[in-house]
């Protein structure tokens, strides 16, 4: 599970074997969530309100990069890092 970014204790991941729709995973402590890249909809899990707000802010800033990393993951290509929120 390649880590794309980390900020304020939140880790952002993307998995090679994931299926559509394009999404990423966020972990904060014991909380985990899967979030669509395009509209920020929660696909699975939950995250506290503050952490979710930070993740969504980051998602909006890096949507193009996230789409590219999703494409690379589908090709099983190495994933890069994305700038943290900060």
Question: Is residue 36 assigned to a domain?
Answer: yes
pLDDT above 90 for 35: yes
Question: Is residue 57 assigned to a domain?
Answer: yes
Question: Is residue 12 assigned to a domain?
Answer: yes
CA angle, 19 then 11 then 74, to 5°: 25
pLDDT above 90 for 43: yes
pLDDT value of residue 1: 78
Question: Is residue 82 assigned to a domain?
Answer: no
For residue 24, is the peptide bond before it cis, meaning its omega torsion is within 30 degrees of 0?
no
Question: Is residue 79 assigned to a domain?
Answer: no
Sorting pLDDT into bands at 50, 70 and 90, what band is 86?
Answer: confident
**Averaged pLDDT score across all residues of the chain:** 97
pLDDT value of residue 47: 97
What is the number of structural domains in the chain? 1
DSSP calls for 48-83: -HHHHHHHHHHHHHTHHHHHHHHHHHHTTPPP---P
């Amino acid at each position: 599970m390649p880590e794309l970014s980390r900020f304020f204790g939140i880790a952002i991941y993307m998995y090679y074997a994931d299926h559509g729709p394009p999404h990423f995973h966020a972990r904060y402590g014991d909380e985990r969530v899967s979030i669509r890249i395009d509209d920020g909809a929660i696909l699975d899990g939950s995250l506290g309100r503050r952490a979710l707000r930070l993740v969504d802010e980051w998602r909006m800033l890096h949507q193009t990069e996230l789409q590219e990393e999703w494409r690379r993951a589908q090709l099983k290509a190495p994933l890069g890092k994305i700038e943290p929120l900060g």
